[in-house]
Amino acid sequence: MDLGFEVVSLGPADHVEEGEQAPEFTRPLVDDEHWENVSLSELTDEGPVLLVFHPMAGSFPTTYIWQELVERGLEEVLTVVGVTSSDPYAQKRLVEARDMEFRLFADPANDVARSYGIEHDLDGMAGISEPRIATFLLDTDRVVRDAWVSEEWPEFPPYDDVEAAARDLAD
Partner 1 sequence: MLDPDITLYRLHACPFCERVVRALDAHGLEYRSRFVEPLHSDRDVVKRISGKRTVPAIVDENTGVTMSESANIVEYVERTYGGDGA
- 8 Å CB contact between 140 and 64: no
**Radius of gyration from C-alpha coordinates of the chain:** 15
58 or 158: CB nearest partner 1: 58
Nearest to 23 by CA among 148, 126, 136, 171: 136
Taking CB under 8 A as the rule, does residue 2 contact partner 1?
A: no
Instruction: Write down the number of H helices and E strands in the chain.
Output: 5, 11
Q: How far is the CB of 152 from partner 1 (least distance, A)?
A: 8
Q: How far is the CB of 90 from partner 1 (least distance, A)?
A: 13
- 8 Å CB contact between 100 and 70: yes
- 8 Å CB contact between 15 and 104: no
User: With CB under 8 A, what is the number of residues at the site for partner 1?
Assistant: 18
Nearest to 38 by CA among 46, 26, 47: 26
117 or 154: CB nearest partner 1: 154
Query: Site for partner 1 (CB under 8 A): which residue of 111, 153, 167, 170?
Result: 153
Q: How far is the CB of 6 from partner 1 (least distance, A)?
A: 8
Tell me which residues in 90-149 interact with partner 1 (CB under 8 A).
Answer: 122-125
Binding site residues, partner 1, CB under 8 A:
1, 3, 5, 7-8, 55-56, 58-61, 63, 122-125, 153-154
